[in-house]
Structure 1
Amino acid sequence: MEVAVQIQRLFHVQIQRLLLTIATVVAVVVVFQFLVSPNKNYISNLWDASNGSVVTVGNVTSSSSSKLTGISVIHGMVNNSMASDSEGEGKDGDETQVEGMEKHSYFQVDGHEEMNNSFQIDEDGQLSQEITSESGFDHDKSLRYVKARNINTSFSMLGEVHSESSIESLGLVSPKISPNVIADLDAGLRTPPSSIAGNASLAHNNTELVEIQPGHTNKELLGNTSTSQSNHSSVSVDLIMKGRRRRKPTTISDMTLLLLQSLNSSSRPQRSSPRDRELQYARSQIQNAPVIRSSPELYASLFRNYSMFRRSYELMERMLKVYIYKEGEKPVFHQPRLTGIYASEGWFMQLIERNKQFVVRDPRKAHLFYLPFSSKNLRIALQQKQFTRREDLEEYLKNYTDIIARKYRFLNRVKGADHFLVACHDWAPWMTRKSMGNFIRVLCNANVARDFRIGKDVSLPVTYIRSAQDPGQDLGGKPPSQRTILAFFAGNMHGYLRPVLLQHWENKEPDMKISGPMPRDREGKTKYMESMKSSKYCVCARGYEVHTPRVVEAIYHECVPVIISDNYEPPFFEVLEWEAFSVFVLEKDIPNLRNILLSIPEDRYLAMQQRVKLVQQHFLWHRKPAKYDLFHMILHSVWYNRVLQVKL
């Protein structure tokens, strides 16, 4: 009997010790996880993960029973490979593009040095896209999406996304994907599947958006995804925006203040040359320009300071001389591309190299020095395996500038401040950030939250050119009284913002024509054009990057642009008064978009719409340049920024 009692007591002691050990281990694990990431709700996540599919973004958890849009997160390995470009290439090498469906590569950096991975999908076997990453990005952390079709996925995820630090690795459950999904994702790829960078997906009904983050291989994407036909991890796409709201965006008013501040940061060269003295004279003339109210060919209401612009433009026509470096081999140098979404850089290259008014053969007579390279052609060179790594593109341009610096004394005279480049590819800011960082960079990807410098760099309009013979075709639109649509948008779900736009406004109000991409046939193209021509406001929502061709398309069709792209400096910001003919809406205010537009008085809308028609001349390409056209406006902005950098 006593033996039985002793055994029972021993048993109870062992049980107590076991429970104590388990409690100690659990406590240590919880404390350790809390110390590593104190903001995560691990207990809640672990409990929910055992009861169903859960997605946590920030500290918000949504179970699989939610009816909101699903987000799936895939965690992969870092890969250094790259795919083809963000524009589809036809058999003749020309870009193919459809209205409402522009293609942008995407840059995102989770640190100071990040590799640049890319990804291409040929949607329905025709349209290719790309996503990339870029260094120097700290204000614009976000979720990225590429459209895919017919994917039903369900995941559990532990973790959160922080906007003020690099996006953390996200734990995941359910690592497989169906063969049909693989075929859909890989359709039209021109590079090995390992070049696809993937890290998450967003589901909406039968169509899903695949969230892409840099540094992950396609093999990891395909190996860490599961297909579920019954349940969906769900969370509202509004949660995507929450992490982005922690940092205040740079508004148009902020940019104006930064532009004024840049005037006080001008520099004086150590050794003043005759050209420097001419620039100092020009600055004095511009800043003391006589007041001019209006003229038959220009409209004062379109400009920040009409008198200064007129005087500056006159001095440019009379004084400016540009030297074009002859160095550099085709196709990267001296070979413009005149069609497609990146055509702006090509048209400027062609027109400046043919110009006799501004171009000089003697570099000693030049105020500005132009480097005639094509960022698009450089990207294609990588795609065609002429380079092996993304870093080779940057090194290639550095080697080029080194050759220029050794051969000419002008590059080092003012540290490149009188040199400029014109580049429209999304990668251009990254390609040129080191070796050409002091140059005046004319960029389509004008993101002031990165290293685009207001008052030095110039925002280049994105002009999608379909015909090199007639670059300004199909202009105009209906008069205001016949514009029955309040706001119009149609396009692919590129980037994090457009899914949010559609979630709030697709099929919500009869006067808000907000939708995904229209059909790519002739009828679809015509409908897209007619919708712009029949709308009061045209929504220009950013894609993977801050810029979009819709801004210029809206101007071409006399539709007031509604720009929804935080930190985007619009073209020719240094001289044009954009708020006189367009509307800027912060990304966080998308839920209130219709109220914002309805609050604009009719007389103000009519004035803006009339100014859109008047500003159109400044965004047109001509085979033979015309006064105040797009070629001259680009050249003037380079001249204007250079002149105002010179200290009196």
Structure 2
Amino acid sequence: MDLPPASAHIVKKLPSHIQRYLSSLTPDEALAFAKRDIENASVASDDDPELYGPLFRNISTFKRSYEWMEWMLKVYIYGEGRKPIFHTPHRTGIYSSEGWFLMLMEENRQFVTKDPEKAHLFYLPYSARQLQMELYVPNSHNLKPLAVFLRDYVNMLAAKYPFWNRTHGSDHFLVACHDWGPYILKEHEELQRNTIKALCNADVSEKIFLAGKDVSLPETTIRQPRRPQRNVGGNRASQRPILAFFAGHRHGRVRPTLLKYWSDKDDDMRIYGPLPNRASRVMSYPQHMKSSKYCICPMGFEVNSPRIVEAIYYECVPVIIADNFVPPLSEVLNWDAFSVTVAEKDIPKLKEILLAIPLRKYLIMQTNVKKVQKHFLWNLQPVPYDLFHMILHSIWLSRLNQIQVPQPS
């Protein structure tokens, strides 16, 4: 089908003739129309106070893509699946991202459709955390029962509906923050290979998370679900006397090396295992982050760390140490603008690397951390460009990238 010229600018309300035209298209044809318009996006103006250009890889294409998502995207949520594994958000702790997204998606009226024929995306509404709590036998080291459970669930959907088999699962998505999220997909080849996976454990070395297709899910620690933004904020740059801070358990391949070289070695480098009483009596863990220029975010057993988003919440420049990690929302965000990445082999030179960053560059990064913070916040009622919308946009973008745009004849 020959498509008419894309609109010069997408606004909150599309012109009626474009609305009528889009309503006549299949979901894939409508996505192709949107994709072509996004690819031809003109340079964005600076008239949007909600967005700050230096944070983004390409602010113009992000704005256009986000506008299309808000106007057009429809998600079908499968009703199948018994509680508590399905439709039951777990909203506290370090794996809370999957629960918050599940809750806000199921409550949403703008993006959710009850008509699967109109859907651009299909959501598998389970919680990896709840799956672990319900089915894992403690100390068994056996994840197969969890993987078999998911395999059987997907096979049931494929037998009941035409939608999975129509695309072999490529227009379906899942959201899983538990460390085991990638590993419990292994019993279903199409689920592992084709589905859009939003995972906190975004490790490219294991060949399950596929950069460019899958979405790196931010790992957020929420302690009070009714006040998800409690304690957000930090000291100004001039009131951060500590160069670098880390406190946490000594596990995985990176943290023992970090502690070997920097624990109790240098007063500028406040590097601890669990925060000792002598330090916590002076300042709490959040106060340490709010008083540090750089917050060290080393991987644990897996590449992801909740400290990355904690650092952003406390306006401390994150220092990521995890060689195979894809940072969250990196489809659109330019992480070099507000964070530092240090190779695992360079841990012995960590202080040297941080001191080599000019003060002017640090001040810009710290300002950018404060500006990017809004994109990592959960809200009880979602607002534009917050974490719910940013995760959904990354999933939408992955779906959009599947679409082949017809060439003009």
Does TM-score exceed 0.5, indicating one fold? yes
Partner of 1:458: 215
Residue 423 (structure 1) aligns with: 176
Cα contact 2:136–2:146 (8 A) shared by 1: no
The alpha-carbon deviation at position 494 of structure 1 amounts to: 1.6
Match of 1:599 in 2: 356
- The aligned runs of 1:335-414 (5 Å cut-off) are 335-383=88-136, 390-414=143-167
Match of 2:8 in 1: none
Q: Distance in 1 between matches of 2:150 and 2:238?
A: 52
Instruction: For residue 351 of structure 1, give the secondary structure of its aligned residue in structure 2.
Output: helix
Alpha-carbon distance, 1:285 to partner: 1.3
Q: Say whether 1:494 aligns with 2:247.
A: no
CA distance in 2, matches of 1:431, 1:349: 18
Contact kept in structure 2, 1:328 and 1:334, CA below 8 Å: yes
Whether 1:535 and 2:292 are equivalent positions in the alignment is yes
Contact 1:546–1:567, Cα closer than 8 Å, also in 2: yes
Is it true that 1:512 corresponds to 2:260 in the alignment? no
Match of 1:626 in 2: 383
Counterpart of 1:274 in structure 2 is: 26
Q: 1:567 aligns with which of 300, 324, 329?
A: 324
**Quick one: which amino acid aligns to residue 199 of structure 2?**
L
Other structure's SS at 1:412 match: helix
The separation in 1 between residues aligned to 2:306 and 2:282, in whole angstroms, is: 15
Q: Secondary structure at the match of 2:326?
A: coil
1:291 aligns with 2:47: no
Question: C-alpha distance in 1, partners of 2:70/2:129?
Answer: 30
Deviations 1:308-336 (A, max 9, x none): 00000000000000000000001111111
Contact between 1:518 and 1:525, CA under 8 Å: does it hold in 2?
Answer: no
Counterparts of 1:124-203 in structure 2, within 5 Å, are none
> Is 2:86–2:127's contact at 8 Å kept on the other side of the alignment?
yes
CA contact 1:490–1:514 (8 Å) conserved in 2? yes
Identity of aligned residues (%): 55
Question: Offset at 1:427?
Answer: 0.7
What secondary structure is seen at the aligned counterpart in 1 of 2:164? coil
Q: Which has the higher helix share?
A: 2
2:259 is paired with a residue of what secondary structure?
A: helix
**Cα offset, 1:383, TM superposition:** 3.6
Cα shift at 1:282 = 1.4
Q: Please state how far the C-alpha of 1:382 moved relative to its aligned partner.
A: 2.2
Number of aligned positions between the proteins: 375
Max radius of gyration: which structure? 1
**Deviations for 1:171-218, whole angstroms, at most 9, x for unmatched residues?**
xxxxxxxxxxxxxxxxxxxxxxxxxxxxxxxxxxxxxxxxxxxxxxxx
Unaligned regions of 5+ residues in structure 1, if any?
1-272
CA distance in 2, matches of 1:492, 1:602: 31
Alignment match, 1:313: 66
**C-alpha contact 1:293 1:300 (8 A) present in aligned 2:** no
Amino acid at match of 2:205: A
Q: How far apart are the structure 1 equivalents of 2:245 and 2:311?
A: 10
Q: CA deviation at 1:608?
A: 0.4
Equivalent pair of 1:560/1:582 in contact (CA under 8 Å) = yes
SS at match of 1:486: strand
Alpha-carbon RMSD across the aligned residues, in angstroms, is 1.8
- Contact 1:518–1:524 (Cα < 8 Å) also in 2: no
Q: Which amino acid aligns with 2:252?
A: G
CA contact (8 A) 1:293 1:306 kept: no
Equivalent position amino acid for 1:330 in 2? K
The one-letter amino acid of 1:281's match is F
Residue of structure 2 equivalent to 1:439 = 195
TM-score, with length taken from structure 2: 0.89
Structure 1 residues 466 and 419: alpha-carbon distance in aligned structure 2, compared to 1, 3 A threshold: same
1:284 is paired with a residue of what secondary structure? helix
Q: For residues 524 and 624 of structure 1, what CA distance do their matches in structure 2 show?
A: 37
Give the counterpart of 1:639 among 391, 396, 403: 396
Supply the AA of the counterpart residue of 1:332.
I
Provide structure 2 residue ranges, at least 5 long, that are not aligned to the other structure: 1-24
Measured after TM superposition, the shift of residue 390 of structure 1 is 2.6
Question: Partner of 1:428: helix, strand, or coil?
Answer: coil
Cα distance change of structure 1 residues 397 and 608 upon mapping to structure 2, 3 Å threshold: same
Q: Which amino acid aligns with 2:347?
A: I
Q: Distance in 2 between matches of 1:405 and 1:456?
A: 22
> How far does residue 524 in structure 1 lie from its aligned partner after superposition?
6.1
Compared CA separation, residues 521 and 556, structure 1 to 2 (3 A): farther
Which contiguous aligned blocks of 4+ residues in structure 1 show a shift greater than 3 angstroms? 519-526
Q: Secondary structure at the match of 1:449?
A: helix
Residue 441 of structure 1 deviates from its aligned partner by 0.3
Residues in 2 aligned to 1:559 and 1:522: alpha-carbon distance in whole angstroms? 19
The code of the aligned residue for 2:195 comes to F
